[in-house]
């Protein structure tokens, strides 16, 4: 479980705890009986799930971008250290990392 998943899970558990403390017994049966509220709850639940999925996908892209930046700095450092031994390697163009091209 990554950092974003932990935050989202913590917030969801917090919501469920607050609902469990504030809603009276038998409330779920009353909600099921009221189709208008049930439909809105279903829509809100679907929206919540979609947003969670988008956040996790964006976080994955964020992590890959961080890795790309780190790798490019490592390449620059390596080329800087080796520039005296092989000047032609320092003149080679840097390839675009696949993760950045795909994003």
DSSP conformation letters of 55-99: HHHHHHHHHHHHHHHHHHHHHHHHHHHHTTT-HHHHTSPPPPPHH
Q: What is the pLDDT of residue 94?
A: 59
pTM tops 0.85, yes or no: no
pLDDT tens sequence across 23-65: 888 888 888 788 888 899 999 999 999 999 999 999 999 999 9
Task: Render pLDDT for 63-77 as a digit per residue (tens, 0 to 9).
Answer: 999 999 999 999 999
Indicate the domain borders of the chain. Answer: 3-102
Q: What is the pLDDT of residue 32?
A: 77
Q: Cβ distance 8 to 50 under 8 Å?
A: no
């Amino acid at each position: 479980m990554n950092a974003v998943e932990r935050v989202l899970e913590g917030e969801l558990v917090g919501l469920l705890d607050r609902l469990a403390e504030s809603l009276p017994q038998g409330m779920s049966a009353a909600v099921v009986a009221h189709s208008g509220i049930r439909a809105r709850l279903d829509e809100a639940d679907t929206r919540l799930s979609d947003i969670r999925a988008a956040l996790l996908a964006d976080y994955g892209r964020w992590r890959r971008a961080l890795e790309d930046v780190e790798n490019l700095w490592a390449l620059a450092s390596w080329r800087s250290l080796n520039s005296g031994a092989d000047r032609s390697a320092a003149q080679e163009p840097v390839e675009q990392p696949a993760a950045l091209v795909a994003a």
